[in-house]
Structure 1
Amino acid sequence: MLNEKEMSVGERLKQARVTHKPALTQKDVSDRSGISQSVISDLERGKIQGTTKMIELAASVNVNALWLSSGHGEMRSPETERLTEIQRLSHAIQKLDLTKEQVERLVNMAIAEASKMAFEQQR
């Protein structure tokens, strides 16, 4: 079996996609990254060797961009997952063209819902 540095970008992408919790489809990665599903498929099949949107692609599967592009470093860590979630959120906000007020309203709603869920779990 190849070590991560010997794997292609596409092989590392597929590994990241299928080991994500929950596992992601190519369509999921496409939706999360803004990269077409055909490009993701071409990467995984080795038809193309990279993309200029490596940061977005790494964020979509919650992995370190350096690891995805070269195999160096950790695939996932708590810090990487936190940062990639922030990148994904930023991408979604831009994609939806939300105003600052709309984002603040959504954040407040999410905090209220999370607090309610935490309270219910403690019962």
Structure 2
Amino acid sequence: MEFKDRLKAARRHAQLNQAELAAKAGITQTSISDLERGKSKATAHVVKIADACGVSAKWLSDEIGPMTSTAGSGPTESNVSMAVQPSRSFRYPVISWVAAGAWAEAVEPYPAGISDTYEFSEYDSKGPAFWLKVKGDSMTAPAGQSITEGTLILVDTEVEVSPGKLVVAKLPDSNEATFKKLVSDGGRLFLKPLNPGYPIEPVDENCRIVGVVVQALQKFY
């Protein structure tokens, strides 16, 4: 199934309409509608949507594992209960945007002293992964997909990069990484902010895609 079909199945499993799911997940109904119609191919709110529907985030995002984490009620059900399982079990460092910008040049995946702070996630990364705290409002959109300032984003450095995905990139004229949506237009790639008030930046041979954003987490310190 495509993501849009899994989303519809998850919503129906939860017996929610689009407006109810949007309210529970804390996003707009337009976002849900665009995702179910395939107009939007990905979202950073997968975990929130999965939690609202009571389904596995891995299944919803990548169709990995069962739709739900609880065992069924058929005759082959195991006598070992799966009810009390932690949903988040992988530990990733929270690093600075400067460190993220230098990630491609790092000799070791996690250099000593790279972070004093760590956050957990249920996401099992394909490669070295880390959290970044979003700065500014360039990815805050007036409608649809939106990532607000202060949100923690989880970046997987070995997820396949393709247009439509949210990415962290290193531009040649900056020592910090930047967070944008990768888009394609006329055969060329661009880094597009979700906030229309910010400029679109072209991707050239000097621009390095550090990784793909796979989760977003609102964390209040």
SS at match of 2:30: helix
Matching residue's letter, 2:20: D
Compared CA separation, residues 68 and 80, structure 1 to 2 (3 A): farther
* RCO comparison, higher one (Cα < 8 Å, 6+): 1
How many matched pairs? 76
Deviations 1:2-35 (A, max 9, x none): xxxxx22111010011122xx1100111011001
CA displacement at 1:57 relative to structure 2? 1.0
What TM-score do you get using the length of structure 2 for normalisation? 0.32
2:16 is equivalent to residue 13 of structure 1: no
C-alpha separation in 2, matches of 1:63 and 1:51? 16
2:22 is equivalent to residue 34 of structure 1: no
* Greater fraction of residues in strand: 2
After TM superposition, the runs of 4+ consecutive aligned structure 1 residues lying more than 2 A away are 77-84
Contact 1:62-1:81 within 8 A present in 2 as well: no
Deviations 1:27-68 (A, max 9, x none): 111011001100000000000111111111111101110100
C-alpha separation in 2, matches of 1:66 and 1:47? 21
CA displacement at 1:80 relative to structure 2? 7.8
Structure 2 residues not aligned, in runs of 5+ = 71-81, 88-221
Compared CA separation, residues 52 and 74, structure 1 to 2 (3 A): same
2:63 is equivalent to residue 71 of structure 1: yes
Structure 1 residues not aligned, in runs of 5+ = 1-6, 85-123
SS at match of 1:30: helix
Give the CA RMSD over aligned residues. Answer: 2.2
SS at match of 1:56: helix
2:63 is equivalent to residue 59 of structure 1: no
C-alpha separation in 2, matches of 1:17 and 1:81? 23
Contact 1:54-1:65 within 8 A present in 2 as well: yes
Contact 1:66-1:73 within 8 A present in 2 as well: yes
CA displacement at 1:72 relative to structure 2? 1.0
Contact 1:32-1:60 within 8 A present in 2 as well: yes
C-alpha separation in 1, matches of 2:56 and 2:32? 17
Contact 1:8-1:49 within 8 A present in 2 as well: no
Compared CA separation, residues 82 and 19, structure 1 to 2 (3 A): farther
Which structure: larger Rg?
2
Contact 2:59-2:65 within 8 A present in 1 as well: yes
Contact 1:64-1:76 within 8 A present in 2 as well: yes
Contact 2:13-2:53 within 8 A present in 1 as well: no
What TM-score do you get using the length of structure 1 for normalisation? 0.56
Partner residue of 1:47 out of 39, 46, 65: 39
Matching residue's letter, 1:58: A
